[in-house]
Structure 1
């Protein structure tokens, strides 16, 4: 887990799970944002987001707990 991944999770929640907007806010590509999320989920062994196909709809309970941690570290 790294700081960039935590920023991406925090921004995804702020941007209503729109990864294109997250990428624009963080000056990176949408595919890079998706890769960071996938790598973090694999590392932690959890799903962070509720998905329908490729769309992010919200956060899972473990994702919500992770978001609290992301907000704590960013303050």
Structure 2
């Protein structure tokens, strides 16, 4: 019985895990000034979020958003 419960819990976690993803962020490297897309919000001062408070749901949305951020298009 415990094995069935563990297997069910593992399966539910594997299915639900992608739903907990934060999203995609447009960030800029402080030294090179190059913009990239990351899946996690930066926690260091080496990179900063340049898209304001915007969190994109898909990488395609983030790529489109990166084209509209002024500091990313001027480099």
TM-score by length of 2: 0.28
TM-score by length of 1: 0.28
Q: Which has the higher strand share?
A: 2
